[in-house]
Amino acid sequence: MGCSMIRLEGVTKRFGTVTAVDEAHLCVDRGEIVALLGPSGCGKTTLLRLVAGFERPDGGAVEVAGRTCSGPGTWIAPEERRVGMVFQDYALFPHLTVAENVGFGVPRRERATRVAELLEIVGLTEQRRRYPHELSGGQQQRVALARALAPSPELVLLDEPWSNVDPFLRETLRAEVAEIFRPLGVTVVLVTHDREEAFSLADRIALMRNGTILQEGTPEELYFSPASRWAAEFVGAANVLSGPVVGGLVETPLGTFPANGSSTHADASVLVRPELLELEPDPAGPAEVVAREFRGHDVLYRVLLEGVELVSQRPSTEVVPLGSRVSIRLHNGRVPVVD
């Protein structure tokens, strides 16, 4: 993949004794939508702020659109980077109207037309004279987007843009944002701790932990081929089954799986996503349903198989009663080896 928009080379950032970002490497290509996904405190927001220029790295280099913005002996101030930023709390200027907020970063002679254009895009033309506190959360976010887009940046950074919005609204807003960004061809980097958010929006996801980027890839790659057991569990519910490797195969209660080069005699683990486990009521089955959680469009079952507890996700149209014996069938799918 290319690095035409962002290239981070071994970027490090410390706050006192805490290393927030630890020799991170990342590439983003022009026009991509990339999500920085990770748990709280993994350094993803700091990484974003390093790109925007709100933090100076303690080591490594940050390149934006082919220009070295920070590195040894180099520093470009945030206002020179032409990077749009949408803050977690939107950071709208409370003393300015919607139109004034949007026009803030636009040169005076283009301001009127550009503001009108963007308000049209985000659908807030009628609210142009309102102040931020007179808007709903969703409208505020659209103002924040419009303001970031107004100076026509090639790169827009979004910091947890939906963390302050209630879950019902989130999906709508997500769709809205995607609709706004895609046609403009803007490169977007999004910070989130919500995997669904990352999956639904991003072309590519960079998974972060403890200040480093563990894995980069498409949502599918991340989901089905996680680089580690931790990654597997972070991006979705996971059954991790361990067993000895015999003849290039891992032996598990569910059967044998290719060990992908894991050496013989050692133990290895494989990842089985819950949706791959089909349950069939069977009085003589080897497993027993020990818990059942109805979730609307699907149901989570916990089944005990040879002393190992497994999670299975089934459509809610199938009903398997609690306590019944079942046999387990593995649906066709990838079962990768994980550390």
Partner 1 sequence: MSNGAAAAVSSPRRRAPLPLVLAAGLVAAAAAVPIAYLVVRALSADEAGRALVSLDLTVELVVNTALLAVGVVAAALVVGVPLAWLVVRTDLPGRRLWGLAASLPLVIPSFVAALALLGALAPRGLLQQLLEPLGVEELPEVTGYWGALLALTLSTYPYVFLLAAAGLRGIDPSAEEAARSLGSGRAAVFFRVTLPALRPSLAAASLLVSLYVLSDFGAVSLMGYDTLTTGIYTRYEALLALDAAAILALVLVALAVVIVLLATRFGARGTIYRSTPGAGRQAEVVPLGRWRWPALAFCTSVLGLFLVLPLGVLVWWSVQADPITGRAGIAWDAALNSALAAGVSAAVGALVVLPAALLAWRYPSRIARFLERLTLSPSALPGIAVALALVFFGARVGGVVYQSLGLLIFAYVLRFMPYSLASTRASLDAVSPRLEEAARGLGRKPLGATVSVVLPLARTGILAGAALVFLSAVKELPATLLLRPIGFDTLATRIWEGTALGAYAQVAPSALLLVAIAAPLVYLLSWRNAWELGAAD
- List interacting residues with partner 1 (CB under 8 A): 15-16, 18, 20, 40-46, 49, 52-56, 77-79, 81-85, 87-89, 91-95, 104-105, 147-148, 150-151, 160, 163, 193
**Nearer to partner 1 by C-beta: 82 or 130?**
82
Token digits for 70? 């920070």
In the complex with partner 1, which residue's Cβ is closer, 85 or 287?
85
Q: In the complex, what is the shortest distance from the CB of residue 302 to partner 1, in angstroms, rounded to a whole number? A: 29
Q: Which region, left, alpha or beta, applies to residue 88 given φ > 0 means left and ψ of -120 to 50 means alpha?
A: alpha
Are 123 and 143 within 8 A, CB to CB?
no
Q: Is 2 helix (H, G, I), strand (E, B) or coil?
A: coil
Q: Are 305 and 253 contacting, i.e. CB atoms less than 8 angstroms apart?
A: yes
Shortest reach from residue 231's CB to partner 1, in Å: 18
**174-177 long-range Cβ contacts below 8 angstroms, 24+ apart:** 174/200, 174/201, 176/138, 176/142, 177/145, 177/201
Take residue 201 and report the two structure tokens written for it.
Answer: 């929006």
Shortest distance in whole angstroms from residue 247 CB to partner 1:
45
Interhelix angle 167-184/137-149, nearest 10 degrees: 20
Q: Locate 232 and state its tokens.
A: 């597997």
Q: How far apart are CB 73 and partner 1 at their closest, in Å?
A: 15
Whichever of 56 and 182 has its CB closer to partner 1, that residue is 56
Q: 88 or 324: whose CB is closer to partner 1?
A: 88
Smallest distance from the beta carbon of 21 to partner 1, in angstroms? 9
* Structure-block tokens of residue 196: 């669904």
Q: How far is the CB of 47 from partner 1 (least distance, A)?
A: 10
Q: Least distance in Å: CB of 300 to partner 1?
A: 26
**In a 3-state reduction of DSSP, which class is residue 30?**
coil
How far is residue 186's CA from residue 51's CA, in Å, rounded to a whole number?
16
How far apart, in whole angstroms, are the C-alpha atoms of residue 189 and residue 186? 10
Pick the closer one to partner 1 by CB: 31 or 151. 151
CB nearer partner 1, residue 94 or residue 283: 94
- Render 265-293 in DSSP notation, one character per residue: TSEEEEEE-GGGEEEEE-TT-SEEEEEEE
- 15 or 267: CB nearest partner 1: 15
Of 70, 84, 67, the residue nearest 3 (C-alpha): 67
Task: Please identify, using beta-carbon distances, which residue of 94 and 323 lies nearer to partner 1.
Answer: 94
Least gap, CB of 7 to partner 1 (angstroms): 20
Whether 235 contacts 195, CB under 8 Å: yes
155: CB partners within 8 A, 6+ apart = 5, 6, 51, 64, 65, 82, 83, 84, 186, 187, 188, 189
Continuous segment of H or E residues that includes residue 88: none
CB closer to partner 1 out of 190 and 303: 190
Q: How far is the CB of 98 from partner 1 (least distance, A)?
A: 15
